[in-house]
């Protein structure tokens, strides 16, 4: 199988992305866990609310609406990392198909 130069560049980019995926998945998982734990920050802010100056009260109330959204984002990000832990399936399949096609002798040409 003969690939065009553009396709070779694309395949090289896929290989590079596949090589850095083990580090990237840990980063994504840690960010997801931190986002899921963000409501604990809100609980801490509420506990400190009695000691805080009055100018911080609107900020603390705004965080009450923002942190559940961050928590849901964390759940989504953590699930993405868990589902693709061993690599993104479409990328892995394409790289395997290209490797297999390049190994086969071209008797048809």
Spans of all domains in the chain:
39-101
Lowest-confidence segment of 7-11, 17-21, 49-53 by average pLDDT:
49-53
The confidence band for 13, taking pLDDT boundaries of 50, 70 and 90, is: very high
Question: Is residue 42 scored above 80 in pLDDT?
Answer: no
- DSSP character string of the chain: ----HHHHHHHHHHHHHHHHHHHHHHHHHHHHHHHHTHHHHHHHHHHHHTTS-GGGHHHHHHHHHHHHHHHHHHHHHHHHHHHTTT--HHHHHHHHHHHHHHHS-----
* Predicted TM-score (pTM) of this structure: 0.70
Distance between CA atoms of residues 58 and 79, nearest Å: 32
Residue-wise pLDDT for 64-109, tens only, equals 788 888 889 999 999 999 999 988 898 999 999 998 888 876 655 5
């Amino acid at each position: 199988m003969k690939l065009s130069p553009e396709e070779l560049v694309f395949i090289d980019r896929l290989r590079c992305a596949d090589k850095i995926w083990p580090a990237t998945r840990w980063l994504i998982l840690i960010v997801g866990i931190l986002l899921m734990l963000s409501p604990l920050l809100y609980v801490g802010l509420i506990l400190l609310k009695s000691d805080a100056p009055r100018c911080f009260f609107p900020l603390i109330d705004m965080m009450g609406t923002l942190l559940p959204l961050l928590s849901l984002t964390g759940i989504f990000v953590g699930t993405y990392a868990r589902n693709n832990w061993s690599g993104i399936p479409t990328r892995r399949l394409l790289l395997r198909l290209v490797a297999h096609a390049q190994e086969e002798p071209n008797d048809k040409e």
